[in-house]
Amino acid sequence: MSNHLFDALTAYIQDQEKTFLETADGECLTYRNMFARSARYAGALHKLGVKPGDRVAAQVEKTSDALMLYLATIRAGAVFLPLNTAYTPTEIAYFVGDAEPSVFVCDPANADALAGTAQKAGARLQTMDAHGEGSLRNLADSMPDQFDTRPRDADDLAAILYTSGTTGRSKGAMLSHDNLSSNSRTMAAYWQFKDDDVLLHALPIFHTHGLFVATNCLMMAGGSMLFLPKFDLGDVIKLLPKATAMMGVPTFYTRLLNSEAFTGDLVKHMRVFISGSAPLSAEVHREFSIRTGHAILERYGMTETNMITSNPYDGDRRPGTVGFPLPGVGFRIVDAKTGREVPQGEVGIIEVKGPNVFHGYWRMPEKTAQEFRSDGYFVTGDMGRIDEDGYISIVGRSKDLIISGGFNVYPAEVEALLDELPGVAESAVIGVPHPDFGEAVVAVLALKEGETFEPEIVQVSVADRLAKFKHPKMVHVQDALPRNAMGKIQKTVLRDQYKSDFS
C-alpha cells in the first residue's frame, strides 16, 4: 500500500533540483531538500514514538520547517493538527486535551506555559521557533535523510483542523488523505497550475487556505513557492514580479489597492490572482480590474469541505459571485425547513457532497450526525443563490441572517450597496434585538483613510434601492471592523457591541 496523500503530492515532480520554496530572507529549498528534510522530521517523530494514526499538534510560526513538519507527519502516517498562533494557553489546553496528540510542538517562548497541558494530554512537548529552530530541529538534524514513508489509505485521516467556532466549542474537522488529495488535484487542474508556476504564498499555514489550497495545489503541479511568514505589503510588492500566481484573502487585495506602488505594470506578467475564505466585495473586484487588468478569481470553500465552487479560469469571472461547483462536487441549495431544493434564483442553505467532504467532527458523533442529511449531503450553514447563468453567490452564514418584522434580510445584499458609497472602505450589516421588529438591521461602516462620512447618506442611498424592511435603522462608523486571522469579519463581536441599540 502506498501513502495516498504524500504519493499524490509528489507524483508530479519532474526535476528534484527544481526550487520547491524560497523565503523572503533568501532560504531556498529544492524538491530534493524537501524530501530529505521531511524525511529527517519524520524520523524525529518516529523516534518520539509517533505511530500511524497518532496526532501531531503544532502551534508554531510559519517557516519552511513548519511546512516540513506537516509533510513529515503525513509521511509518518500520523494526523497533522495545526493550531492558530494567536490562541492563548487556555485555548490550547482545550485543543490539546481534546485531540490527545502524541507530540505537541510549540514556540520555545510558550514551552513553560504549555508543559502542563502537554503532560496532561500525554503528549511529548517539542519546540520550534520563528526560525524553525528548537528541540525538534535538533532531533531531526540527527536523523537520516531517508524515511520509509508509512502506508496510508485514501480514507485514513491526514489532518484535524479545528473550525474557528464563533459559537460554542470549536470542533475538529477530520480530513482524510483522499479529501485533501482529490480536492487539490481538482483545483490544480481547474486553475491550470503547471510546474513553471511560482506561487506567492503569504497566508498562514494553520488554516485550510494556506496549508491545503495553496501548498497542496502548488505541489500537485510540481511548481515553486515564494514563502513569506505573513502578508507584508512591502515584501509582497517586492516579490510580485517573481511570481506567476497569488492566493489571498480579500484583505490582501484591499491592502494592495491602498498602495500607490501597486501598479498594473508590476503585475502585467501574472497569470492569476485567487481570492477566498471571506467575501470579496464586487467593488474591490472592479477596482482591481481597473488598476491591473486582472479579474480576481474568487472561489468558495470551508474547512470541512475543502473547496466547493470557483469562478472559471477561462471565462467570465463575475464580481460578487463564487462561480460554479468544482468538478466532482455535489452541490445543492435547499430550503432550511423542508430540506427541498429551492428554485433557481431563490436563497437557501448550501449543501455539499463528494470526495472533498470531511469524515466528521473529532469525537463528536452527535454533532456530526446533525450536520449531515440522510443522503450524505453536508449542511454548510452558508446561504446562497444560483443566478440564471448558473453563477453562485454567497449571501452570508445562516446564523447571520436577519429576521426583521418577520422578513428575511440577507446582509450581503445591503453590504454590497453600502460598500459602493463614497468614503466607505467596508461594511458589516447585523441584526440586533428590537422591541417591535424582533431584530433590527444595523450597519457598521469603516471609512477609507482620511474620509469623513454623514450617516444620513445611507438612508438616501438605500431609499429607492432596497425594500423598507432592509433599511439600516442605525448606522455606526468605526475605525476598522473586527476580523479574525483569515480576514473574516467577526459579526458576533459587532452584535455584542451594539446589542443595546434599541433597548
Phi and psi at residue 108, in whole multiples of 5°?
Answer: -55, -30
Sole residue written with cell 442553505: 349
Looking at 87-95, 214-222, 271-279, 463-471, which segment touches ligand AMP (CB under 6 A)? 271-279
Q: Does 492 bind ligand AMP (CB under 6 A)?
A: no
Of the candidate residues 3, 33, 63, 208, the single one contacting ligand AMP (CB under 6 A) = 208
Looking at 253-261, 272-280, 341-349, 360-368, which segment touches ligand AMP (CB under 6 A)? 272-280
Task: Quickly count: other Cβ atoms within 10 Å of residue 339's Cβ.
Answer: 16
Q: Does 135 bind ligand AMP (CB under 6 A)?
A: no
Q: Does 415 bind ligand AMP (CB under 6 A)?
A: no
Helices and strands, counts by H and E, the chain: 16, 24
Q: Does 98 bind ligand AMP (CB under 6 A)?
A: no
CA angle at 428 for the pair 424 and 434, rounded to the nearest 5°? 125
Of the candidate residues 322, 386, 402, 429, the single one contacting ligand AMP (CB under 6 A) = 322
* Residue closer to ligand AMP (CB basis): 34 or 214: 214
CA angle at 160 for the pair 143 and 120, rounded to the nearest 5°? 75
Q: What CA–CA distance (Å, rounded) separates 161 from 15? A: 32
Looking at 18-26, 115-123, 276-284, 289-297, which segment touches ligand AMP (CB under 6 A)? 276-284
* Residue closer to ligand AMP (CB basis): 63 or 170: 170
Q: Does 217 bind ligand AMP (CB under 6 A)?
A: no
Q: How far is the CB of 366 from ligand AMP (least distance, A)?
A: 21
> Strands, E, within 368-497: which ranges?
378-386, 392-397, 402-404, 407-409, 424-434, 438-447, 474-478
Looking at 28-36, 181-189, 295-303, 450-458, which segment touches ligand AMP (CB under 6 A)? 295-303
Q: Does 103 bind ligand AMP (CB under 6 A)?
A: no
Of the candidate residues 82, 132, 276, 472, the single one contacting ligand AMP (CB under 6 A) = 276
DSSP string, 422-449: TTEEEEEEEEEEETTTEEEEEEEEEEPT
Q: How many of the chain's residues bind ligand AMP (CB under 6 A)?
A: 18
Looking at 125-133, 134-142, 297-305, 327-335, which segment touches ligand AMP (CB under 6 A)? 297-305
* Residue closer to ligand AMP (CB basis): 35 or 300: 300
Sole residue written with cell 496510508: 152
Of the candidate residues 230, 359, 397, 483, the single one contacting ligand AMP (CB under 6 A) = 397
Angular region, 315: left φ>0, alpha ψ -120 to 50, beta rest: left
Interacting positions 471-490 with ligand AMP (CB under 6 A): 486
Q: Does 394 bind ligand AMP (CB under 6 A)?
A: yes
Q: Does 380 bind ligand AMP (CB under 6 A)?
A: yes
Q: What CA–CA distance (Å, rounded) separates 171 from 361? A: 6
> Strands, E, within 258-366: which ranges?
272-275, 297-302, 306-310, 324-325, 330-334, 348-353
Q: Are 309 and 186 in contact (CB under 8 A)?
A: no
Q: Are 312 and 325 in contact (CB under 8 A)?
A: no
Q: What CA–CA distance (Å, rounded) separates 229 from 257? A: 21
Looking at 85-93, 294-302, 370-378, 456-464, which segment touches ligand AMP (CB under 6 A)? 294-302
Helix (H, G, I), strand (E, B) or coil at 396: strand
Of the candidate residues 63, 126, 277, 311, the single one contacting ligand AMP (CB under 6 A) = 277
Q: Does 362 bind ligand AMP (CB under 6 A)?
A: no
SS3 sequence of 131-198: CCCCHHHHHHHCCCCCCCCCCECCCCEEEEEECCCCCCCCCEEEEEHHHHHHHHHHHHHHCCCCCCCE
* Residue closer to ligand AMP (CB basis): 150 or 318: 318
Q: How far is the CB of 466 from ligand AMP (least distance, A)?
A: 20
Phi and psi at residue 3, in whole multiples of 5°?
Answer: -95, 105
Question: What is the binding site for ligand AMP (CB under 6 A)?
Answer: 163-164, 208, 276-279, 298, 300-303, 322, 380, 382, 394, 397, 486
